[in-house]
Amino acid sequence: MSMASKSMLNAQALARSRLSYRCYNHLSKIHVGLGSTPYSTKNSKVTASHQAHSLLSPCKLLSQQKATARKFSQRSLGQDNLLDVSVDSSSGVATLKMQKPPVNSFSLEFLTSLCINLDKLHSDGCRGLVIGSSLPKIFSAGLEITEMYQPDEARLREFWRTLQEFWIKLYGSQMITIAAITGHSPAGGCLVSMCCDHRVMADGKLTIGLNETLLGIVAPRWFSDTLINTVGHREAERALQLGKLYSPQEAVAVGLVDQVVPLESVAATVESTMAQWLKIPSHARHLSKLQLRQPTLDRLLHTRQEDIDNFVSFITKESIQKSLGMYLAALKQRSKAK
Ligand SMILES: CCCCCCCCCCC/C=C/C(=O)SCCNC(=O)CCNC(=O)[C@H](O)C(C)(C)COP(=O)(O)OP(=O)(O)OC[C@H]1O[C@@H](n2cnc3c(N)ncnc32)[C@H](O)[C@@H]1OP(=O)(O)O
């Protein structure tokens, strides 16, 4: 494919992604306006159509949104392509399962969808959120490497801005957040797990950690801050430099995860942990969380544009592109050899 057509495709994807975000904003207003009751059915599916498939005129868009909002207020929307979100009406606990085969890698569209859902669940007054995966043996392989390899700069900037957005929303979330780590969780996957208040990991041949150095790249400051806040400074120093991928037993030993249980017990363990956390007065719990996390959040909030500029300038260096290209090729080779 020529560079020009790649650029065109990227621009179209970016426009779609922006549009889907705008659609959601309208949609949530309409939803509230209709006076629908959150949690109207037990375990109702709560999914938004995150991928706008075509660029519609404003009128058509609005009528489509209204129709969608009507459906939403009654019961639910259909299955989202990338996420499976359900809410338990009695407890107000949402379960968000990532389902982006083959490895739940975070592309721009996927991150946008995650942001939209976090906002939605928060505005619906959900008290708890379980983040898990529908894919066997995979929590998330982290960032979609092809977003960073031979990128279109405008899309690359949007990609990083959306990742920042997702991290800010999740790390400071008012909801009780629990990660159900039933599969591998390298790099960005580990970051998402660390943003949660509690991590339950399945035992077995799985790994978790910030392995960026193995790709020849550097985890940015807010990734390493999140790790330091989770495992402490000394362990983070070692882990970041070595790009350490921990086994579940190693991870629990250093506090990277809180519990390791057999795969079949993950759901029950998450449920009983959530029940414990739900007993704590919500306001006091959230303020306590923010007391500890706000300085870390502020550090990025005060430097977002600079962080995007640093990321773009770093990733587009020839030497970094070469490392990413080699890493991608090795991944593909390994996958083909299976
Ligand atoms: C000076 C300071 C400035 C700082 C500026 C910032 C610098 C940049 C910071 C960037 C931070 C980056 C964060 C990241 O998250 S990078 C991504 C890191 N992820 C990984 O290394 C994981 C790679 N994947 C794996 O190890 C395995 O896939 C995994 C263990 C997760 C699963 O193994 P499994 O055997 O089940 O699956 P396969 O390996 O066969 O993979 C299946 C297909 O998926 C493709 N794949 C895998 N991971 C990714 C990915 N992250 N992105 C894109 N594609 C991925 C893989 O190639 C296979 O594809 P094919 O079937 O087509 O071959």
Catalytic residues: 143, 188, 211-212
Query: Whole-angstrom Cα distance, residue 64 to residue 56?
Result: 9
Tell me how far the alpha carbon of residue 185 lies from the centroid of ligand 1, in angstroms.
10
Tell me how far the alpha carbon of residue 324 lies from the centroid of ligand 1, in angstroms.
10
Q: According to the model, what pLDDT value does residue 65 have?
A: 35
CB 96 within 8 A of CB 48: no
Low-confidence stretches of the chain (pLDDT < 50) are 1-79
Q: According to the model, what pLDDT value does residue 13 have?
A: 46
Mutational pocket test of ligand 1: of 100, 242, 331, 338, the residue with most ligand atoms within 8 Å of the beta carbon: 331
Would you say the CB of residue 212 lies under 6 angstroms from ligand 1?
yes
Provide the CA 279 distance to its chain's centre, in angstroms: 26
Would you say the CB of residue 145 lies under 6 angstroms from ligand 1?
yes
Q: According to the model, what pLDDT value does residue 286 have?
A: 98
Tell me how far the alpha carbon of residue 66 lies from the centroid of ligand 1, in angstroms.
38
Residues 6 or more apart whose Cβ sits within 8 Å of residue 290: 172
Would you say the CB of residue 278 lies under 6 angstroms from ligand 1?
no
Would you say the CB of residue 80 lies under 6 angstroms from ligand 1?
no
Closest to 119 in 3D by CA, of 64, 173, 71, 179: 173
Q: According to the model, what pLDDT value does residue 268 have?
A: 98
Q: Which atom of ligand 1 is nearest to the CA of 223?
A: 11
Would you say the CB of residue 118 lies under 6 angstroms from ligand 1?
no
Mutational pocket test of ligand 1: of 148, 218, 335, the residue with most ligand atoms within 8 Å of the beta carbon: 335
Would you say the CB of residue 210 lies under 6 angstroms from ligand 1?
no
Q: How far is CA 289 from CA 70, 84, 297, 322, in A?
A: 36, 27, 12, 40
- Tell me if residue 26 falls in helix, strand or coil: helix
Q: According to the model, what pLDDT value does residue 95 have?
A: 98
Only one residue has tokens 């659609």, namely: 23
Tell me how far the alpha carbon of residue 243 lies from the centroid of ligand 1, in angstroms.
13
Selected from 3.40.50.150, 3.90.1150.10, 3.90.226.10, 3.40.50.2020, the CATH number assigned to the domain covering 83-337 reads 3.90.226.10
CB 160 within 8 A of CB 183: no
Query: Whole-angstrom Cα distance, residue 187 to residue 315?
Result: 16
CB 215 within 8 A of CB 195: no
Closest to 48 in 3D by CA, of 11, 87, 9: 87
Q: What is the pTM of this model?
A: 0.83
Would you say the CB of residue 146 lies under 6 angstroms from ligand 1?
yes
Q: According to the model, what pLDDT value does residue 25 have?
A: 34
User: Which residue type is seen at 13?
Assistant: A
Tell me how far the alpha carbon of residue 320 lies from the centroid of ligand 1, in angstroms.
15
CB 324 within 8 A of CB 316: no
Name residue 143's beta-bridge partners: 106
Would you say the CB of residue 158 lies under 6 angstroms from ligand 1?
no
Tell me how far the alpha carbon of residue 207 lies from the centroid of ligand 1, in angstroms.
13
Q: According to the model, what pLDDT value does residue 33 have?
A: 22
b/e map 87-106, b = 16+ CB within 10 Å: bbeebbbbbbbbebeebbbb
